[in-house]
Amino acid sequence: MNQPPTNTPEYTVSELGNALKRTVEDTYGYVRVRGEISGFKRAASGHLYLSLKDAGAVIDGVMWKGGAAALRFRPEDGLEVVATGKLTTYPGRSKYQIIIERMEPAGAGALMALLETRKAKLAAEGLFDPARKRALPYIPGTIGVITSPTGAVIRDILHRLAERFPHRVLVWPVAVQGDSAAGQIASAIAGFNALAADGDIPLPAVLIVARGGGSVEDLWAFNEEIVVRAVAASRIPVITAVGHETDTTLVDFAGDHRAPTPTAAAERAVPVLADLRATVGGLGLRLDRAAARGVALRRERAEAVVRRLPAAAALVGPRAQRADDLGDRLPRALRAAAIGWRGRFERSSRSLTPLLLDRRVAADRLHLARALDRLRAGGRASLASQAAKLARAGAGLRPAVLTMRRDAASAALAGAARLLGSLGPEQVLARGYAYVTSGDHVVPTAADARARSGLTLRFGDGSVDVTTTVTTGTPRRTATAATSPAQERLL
């Protein structure tokens, strides 16, 4: 179907998009837009993407990496800001947007409202609880300082520490203002806490987080949630010194101690060395005086006790007199005892005449001979009886004679025991002999053996049962157990 002729120009999509882009940029140029941030996003490239909105409209915005690095606060959703930039379009998506070159909060009221909201949130989590705060070490071994390495703050801290108490100081340089400041400060706190206690780099005993004064926007990095949580999570006590005395940030609530200035933070970290020396010296003097007073008091008490004691002569005199008395009596007692023992010896010796001793010896020899005869004939049982009789026979002797008789009897008894051992049946059997029994009776003759049916041959190492068979000639023996040639000879 043919279209009616027209004089309306025809554009391509690209031509129309570029024409609109030029029109918008030429008409508006630089503008300032006030609105609330929504959909905030930071790209990996460092560019910021967001939307500005109010009750009736929304406009997209983008801020390139260079402008984002110069921001003095951290943008986030819900924050009302004033953005300055150039209005343009993005033909690739048929939308218009603002290229933001500068951006600041829409007045201090907006920042303070955000600060109060964040403070209430973190306080509800217990990050500001006073019970979490720890005492600072009195004399820390190493002090860690987190601040800018080029500002006056670090010089003030180092100078004050050198004046009061020279210490080892580790400085972790960070940015204290700008969009990257919060991340660097939080990383520095975590880095100090990650040091090993026995590592090459000493673990600080206390941390100082500090920066100089500035506006609310300048100090905003110390209000960021990431920094507050890092301070609260630190296992090392933290002293915060941000801004001047009237400035307060959220890290001041999370730290263990707040100093009004960086210089005051250095004073809080260490004592005054001169004062400490004076204190130690004073304590030393007090200790010396206390020790001297203690010695004097104990000397006085000892002297008082000594005064109450009796004189030495009164204590020693009676005992010395008794010793003299005993010394005089001792020789007389020794002489009397010697005379008494001599009389007892003479009375005892009169009963020990040679004739009496010979009679006792003859009687003991007679008893011993009889005992030996009985041992040879009947065994060892009578030996004990004879020994008992010998003991009773010698009961009437004096101790000295009894001792001699006992020794003689013991020697004689030992000889009889040796004789019995050599002549006893066991020793005879061990030399190859045997004897014949029938039941419990000893068979002494061949006629007695022929009259019995069951015989036993007893040797030194055991016994053999045999039977006898009587014939008309010489008796023939039949053994019921194996016998040796020597045993056969005995049979």
Does the pLDDT value for residue 360 go beyond 70? yes
List the structure tokens of 25. Answer: 């940029």
pTM across the whole model:
0.45
Average pLDDT over residues 27-51: 86
pLDDT score of 490: 35
Burial readout 251-268 (b: 16 or more C-beta within 10 A, e: otherwise): bbbbbbbbbbbbbbbbbb
**277 is a domain residue:** no
Number of Cβ within 10 Å of residue 119's Cβ equals: 18
How far is 248 from 242, CA to CA, in rounded Å? 7
Residue 80 half-sphere exposure, CB side, CA atoms within 13 Å? 13
In terms of domains, do 390 and 446 share one?
no
469 with 414, same domain?
A: no
The reply to whether 74 and 142 lie within a common domain is: no
What is the mean pLDDT of the segment spanning 149-163?
Answer: 89
pLDDT over threshold 60, residue 475: no
* Gap between the terminal Cα atoms of the chain: 162
Binned at pLDDT 50, 70 and 90, residue 87 comes out as confident
Residue 156: which domain range? 114-271
Q: pLDDT per residue over 318-341, tens digit each?
A: 888 888 888 888 888 888 888 888
For residue 258, tell me if it sits in a domain: yes
**Cα 242 from Cα 256, distance rounded (Å):** 14
Element (H, E) at 88: strand 80-90
Q: Are 101 and 67 in contact (CB under 8 A)?
A: yes
Residues 181 and 264 in one domain: yes
Q: Which of 399, 423, 447 is the last residue of a domain?
A: 423
What is the band of 395 on the pLDDT scale with cuts at 50, 70, 90? low
**Domain annotation covers residue 316:** no
pLDDT per residue over 103-122, tens digit each? 887 765 666 777 888 888 89
Q: Which domain CATH number covers 100?
A: 2.40.50.140
pLDDT for position 115? 80
Please write the tens of the pLDDT for every residue from 188-227.
999 999 999 888 899 999 999 999 887 777 788 898 899 9
Nearest Cα to Cα of residue 137 among 205, 204, 192, 196: 205
Specify the higher pLDDT residue, 6 or 89: 89
| Per-residue pLDDT reduced to its tens digit, 255-307 | 999 998 899 999 999 988 888 888 889 999 999 999 999 999 999 999 888 88
Task: Give helix 225-233 / helix 108-124 axis angle, nearest 10°.
Answer: 30
Pairing of strands 30-42, 80-90: antiparallel
Pick the residue with more confidence: 113 or 142? Answer: 142
Confidence class of residue 476 from pLDDT cuts 50, 70 and 90?
very low
Domain membership of residue 309 (yes or no) is no
Residue 350 has pLDDT above 80, yes or no: no
Which pair of structure tokens corresponds to residue 410?
């013991």
**393, 443: one domain:** no
The predicted structure's pLDDT at residue 188: 94
The mean pLDDT value for 41-62 works out to 88
Single out the residue in 423, 454, 480 at which a domain terminates. 423
* pLDDT given for residue 472 in this prediction: 46
Pairing of strands 238-242, 257-258: parallel
Q: What is the predicted pLDDT for the residue at 401? A: 64
The percentage of residues in the chain with a pLDDT greater than 90, rounded to a whole number, is: 21
Question: pLDDT tens digits, residue range 435-461?
Answer: 788 776 777 787 777 777 778 877 777
Q: Of how many residues is the chain composed?
A: 491
Mean pLDDT of the chain: 80
Number of domains in the chain: 4
So what's the pLDDT on residue 394? Answer: 53
Q: Is the per-residue pLDDT at 383 higher than 70?
A: no
Which of these ranges, 174-188, 197-211, 351-365, has the smallest mean pLDDT? Answer: 351-365
